[in-house]
Amino acid sequence: MKKQLEKTYDPASFEDRIFHTWEEKGYFHAEIDPDKKPYTIVIPPPNITGQLHMGHALDETLQDILIRFKRMQGFSALWLPGTDHASIATEAKIVEAMREEGLTKEQIGREEFLRRAWAWKEKYAGRILEQLKKLGSSCDFARERFTLDEGCSKAVREVFVRLYEKGLIYRGERIINWCPHCKTSISDAEVEFVEKEGSFWHIRYPFKDGSGYLELATTRPETMLGDTAVAVHPDDERYRDLVGKTLILPIVGREIPVIADEYVEMDFGTGVVKITPAHDPNDFEVGLRHNLPVINVMDEGGNINENGGRFAGMSGAEARAQIVRELDEAGLLIKTEPIKHNVGTCYRCRTAVEPRVSKQWFVKMQPLAGPAVKCVEEKEIKFIPERMEKIYYNWMSNIKDWCISRQLWWGHRIPAWYCADCGETIVSREDPCVCPKCGSKNLSQDEDTLDTWFSSALWPFSTLGWPEQTEELKYFYPTDTLVTGYDIIFFWVARMIFSGLEHMGEVPFKTVFFHGLVRDGQGRKMSKSLGNGIDPLEVIKEYGADALRFTLVTGNSPGNDLRFTTEKVEASRNFANKIWNAARFVQMNLDIDETGLPELTAMEDKWIVSRFNTLVREVTENLDKFEIGVAAAKVYEFIWDCFCDWYIELVKPRLYEKGTQACLSAQKVLVYVLTETLKLLHPFMPFITEEIWQTLPHEGDSIIISPWPEYSAEREYPAEEKQMELIMGAIRGVRNIRSQMNVPVSRKAKLVIVTKDKELFQSGTVFFEKLAAASSVETADSPESAGENAVSVVVEGASIFIPLDDLVDRVKEIARLEGEQARLKAEIERVEKKLSNEKFVSKAPEAVVAEERKKKEKYQNMLADVEKSLAALK
RNA sequence: GAGGGUAUAGCUCAGCUGGUUAGAGUGCUUGCUUGACAUGCAAGAGGUCGUUGGUUCAAGUCCAACUAUCCUCACCA
């Protein structure tokens, strides 16, 4: 005999145990199997900076649902897990931890720093994997990867060298975004603009010849130390004659020219702009056009450097205050007005970004962007939902070169060496010993590392062994589905696409399935600073992983954000509890240990099997369409409404007739429908489905590798479905009227069913007795036997009379029936109006018209019945 | 400045390729120790589907404009 289910549903008591068994048995391992089709998902590697949050929980749940579904369908389903070294974020965390010990990076040196970083990685990557397991993620853990492991590093190096050799990677002095806190360059994508209150200082720059002043305004007066020109618009009448004249830069004393450039907006401010090529991206461009000198006045910490003369050593803020004061004293400050403007900030530390000219490595984007756009346009890669394509095109079409070098230690070191003797740059797959140009051994490697996204961009193929031509790569690449949030479409999705095309010659994935952000109950982003984050592990502890997973995928459609509340988790937990109890009920009424369907004779058996069959089709179709929420809702509805509230109740009488054929067949159908439904639910709620499945008759070792149910036309019973609908409608009708009249269930009453289909309603006798508090059921051609004082309810196919003598109030009853009469008349009128519209009849599809005709007939029959009842009462 | 999302029951949201008597969960009301489940059962109230037009035999669903709200990108010194 199999183990009995515990009386109460307690997920904490079995979830871990089940997961360990799965792992031990190796169910998550995907083999290269020529007899199977591959299905591959690579995980969006979580950063090793911390722990999984609710957004991860959603992401992993969706992936796990797809993987489990495909695995059951017989694919060799690989879900490849791993983590991301997250260079800038991790380095920041480590630096911060060191500061608490009173240490700096420079003090301990590169080697020691990296040792600490690896220790950090060991700790946090392990923690993340544990969290994945708590969620039930069926990753192939044997294939775990890390963006900075040996294989990924090899891929990064190969890519770098290739792109360099093709001229798609170059090094140059450009204006880049500099984070003074992280002390590194960051890419355009890593800058976030935030609206801040600032000041707009209006100042005067005097002409050298003493002929007056030019007025201009700035939000950053300290950058004037690096001004090398003042610009006006070439068409600006006011200043046309001044172009070419020389100004004396206040405080600094440098002579700078007045130039004309179309970049200047005549209508904004005074129409005069100071030009600081070293510290503003637009000014940099102007500088290039006019051959202006570039004077960098800030160091890597955002402080004024030696080019700032006597201001050297001051912080930006100090210099600003001092310069404003001096300008004011010199009578050159006209006014200061408050202004709201957008300030670029570092997406990791929120520090204001300092645009700064420096020598960095870049990827030339234009040649890569073209094919990347094309493959989406041509649907080689499908975006779900489709609208995400627009966001992608929008970004791709305005793309600028990608700054990939970072002044950090934690990351892939740039494989470039410089010859101290001849200045040659060497980029190669192997570390060079001598300069190929001059033979010097005096080589030094570039100090910088690569943007963390440079390695994540290669993730779909680097994890499968590339640049080696491995069997895994051949079998599992391109991957099938990428599941991720829309917030990293630029950082990651776009870069994987052009990288896959460039290096593999093939798209990295066929479908990108975007989900939204998980928000709190008020719709706010969950964040540390707001303190409104909910820890998925806490939820799992209290409600179970199944409840959490179910919550994250129900009532939500692709790409849309969702609000997370514990009320929803409770509802999911209640659902799990419902299944648990249904299974317990089945189990405690079970005398057999076999699977499979018996010969179906009973109407209710055919009904539930037919409904289940439909469910199989719907769930499969919706999962194929990534309509996870719809698929989940279908299973929910089937289990709760069809199976529990109706089918189990319907067969209870049979179950209590021990030893009969009817009893045995009911058991078989119960087991069949329940175990097969558990399979459909398994991708969503893996733990409870396995736990229950193991206690019921089943074939195979685990539900996780059991075959996905298949739709079969032979198991459709439309006639019985219709019959059951009529019976159920009648039961609902009787319950309804009894409830309205406040008749307690304990007071049974006779039903006189006036119908043309006596056989059908007679066969439902036991259901009426059980579910509609009927003492007996009589079918008849007229309601005479119900006596004078009977209420009646008209349902499709029958009028039901209930003699409730003392409770019947004829006046109320007449009013009620008249209400019903009016409702039906309105319905009929509506349908008739449609049907009398010649255009509708001629243009609408035949099936739609036929449907309306059927409706009309049905309502007319019901109306006739209601009117008969009314006539009898009157 | 450019692009996009959302607007359906008190609340949170479904409603796929136009045809349903507009749905679910939750909340609310009423009645139930109905031989698994009160984390439950049954019945019920509650919606002019943001506004105005248009397309169509037919619009919650498609189109346009508007209003509200959220987001992304760009950024004017």
- Nucleotide lying nearest to A340, CA to C1' measure: B76
Cα A563 to the center of its chain, rounded Å:
13
Cα A795 to the center of its chain, rounded Å:
45
Give me the pLDDT at residue A339, please. 87
Backbone angles phi, psi at A12, to 5 degrees: -60, -25
pLDDT digits (tens, 9 = 90+) for A654-675: 999 999 999 999 999 999 999 9
Q: Token digits for A58?
A: 């959603």
Give residue numbers, 588 to 617 of A, with CB < 7 Å from strand B.
588
**Which residues touch A830 (CB under 8 Å, ≥6 apart)?**
none
Query: For strand A509-515 and strand A479-485, is the pairing parallel, antiparallel, or unpaired?
Result: parallel
Task: Write the DSSP string, A698-713.
Answer: -SSS-GGGSPPP---G
DSSP 3-state percent helix, strand, coil across chain A (nearest 5)? 50, 20, 35
Give the span between the Cα atoms of A89 and A348, in whole angstroms. 7
Number of residues that this document lists for chain A = 874
Which segments within A498-573 are labelled E, that is strand? 509-515, 518-519, 562-563
pLDDT digits (tens, 9 = 90+) for A320-351: 999 999 999 999 999 999 888 889 999 888 89
Q: How many CB atoms lie within 10 A of CB A692?
A: 25
**Which residues touch A207 (CB under 8 Å, ≥6 apart)?**
A213, A214, A245, A246, A247, A248
Own/partner long-range contacts of A619-624 (Cβ < 8 Å, ≥24 apart): A619/A680, A620/A708, A620/A711, A623/A65, A623/A66, A623/A69, A623/A683
Give the span between the Cα atoms of A1 and A123, in whole angstroms. 44
Q: Token digits for A754?
A: 């006036």
Give me the pLDDT at residue A478, please. 96
**Which residues touch A45 (CB under 8 Å, ≥6 apart)?**
A82, A83, A84, A145, A146, A147, A456, A459
For chain A, state the CA radius of gyration: 37
A817: DSSP letter: H
Region of residue A700 (phi > 0: left; psi between -120 and 50: alpha; otherwise: beta): left
State the ipTM, two decimals. 0.96
Give residue numbers, 183 to 202 of A, with CB < 7 Å from strand B.
188-189, 191-193
Give the span between the Cα atoms of A417 and A653, in whole angstroms. 84
Q: Is pLDDT above 60 for A849?
A: yes
CA of A691 to C1' of B37 (A): 17
Q: Which residue is nearest to nucleotide B73 (CA to C1')?
A: A395
Residue A317 exposed, middle or buried by CB count within 10 Å (0-12, 13-18, 19+): exposed
pLDDT digits (tens, 9 = 90+) for A675-716: 999 999 999 999 999 999 999 999 999 999 999 999 999 999
Give me the pLDDT at residue A2, please. 66
Largest CA distance in chain A: 119
Give residue numbers, 336 to 395 of A, with CB < 7 Å from strand B.
339, 341-342, 387, 390-391, 394-395
Give me the pLDDT at residue A525, please. 86
Q: SS3 for A333-397, per residue? A: EEEEEEEEEEEEEECCCCCECEEEEEEEEEECCHHHHHHHHHHHHCCCCEEECCCHHHHHHHHHH
Give me the pLDDT at residue A871, please. 87
Taking CA atoms, A280 is separated from A173, A427, A565, in Å, by 14, 31, 45
Region A552-575: what's the mean pLDDT?
Answer: 92
Q: Is pLDDT above 80 for A450?
A: yes
Region A555-564: what's the mean pLDDT?
Answer: 89
Residue A638: its H or E element: none
SS3 category, A752: strand
Give the orientation angle of helix A566-588 with respect to helix A686-693, to 10 degrees: 10
**pLDDT confidence bin for A3, thresholds 50/70/90:** confident
CA of A563 to C1' of B68 (A): 20
User: Could you say which nucleotides of strand B lie within 7 A of any protein CB atom?
Assistant: 3-6, 12-16, 19, 21, 24-26, 30-37, 39-44, 56-58, 72-77
pLDDT digits (tens, 9 = 90+) for A701-756: 999 999 999 999 999 999 999 999 999 999 999 999 999 888 888 899 999 999 99
Give me the pLDDT at residue A789, please. 82
Give residue numbers, 621 to 650 of A, with CB < 7 Å from strand B.
622, 625, 627, 629-630, 633, 636-637, 640, 644-645, 648-649
A101: DSSP letter: T
CA of A245 to C1' of B21 (A): 82
Q: Select from A136, A311, A80 the least CA-distant residue to A704.
A: A136
pLDDT digits (tens, 9 = 90+) for A41-62: 999 999 999 889 999 999 999 9
Q: Select from A730, A767, A751 the least CA-distant residue to A603.
A: A767
Give residue numbers, 519 to 538 of A, with CB < 7 Å from strand B.
521, 523
Q: What single-letter amino acid sits at A422?
A: C
Q: Which residue has the higher pLDDT, A524 or A21?
A: A21
Q: What single-letter amino acid sits at A722?
A: K
Q: Token digits for A775?
A: 């003492």
**pLDDT confidence bin for A589, thresholds 50/70/90:** very high
Residue A127: its H or E element: helix A105-135
C-alpha dihedral sign at A561, A533, A127, A108: positive
Check whether the bond before A697 is cis (ω within 30° of 0): no
pTM of the model: 0.95
Q: Select from A274, A296, A295 the least CA-distant residue to A219.
A: A274
**Which residues touch A566 (CB under 8 Å, ≥6 apart)?**
A534, A539
CA of A674 to C1' of B64 (A): 51
Give residue numbers, 271 to 290 of A, with CB < 7 Å from strand B.
271, 273-274, 280-282
Query: For strand A38-42 and strand A76-80, is the pairing parallel, antiparallel, or unpaired?
Result: parallel
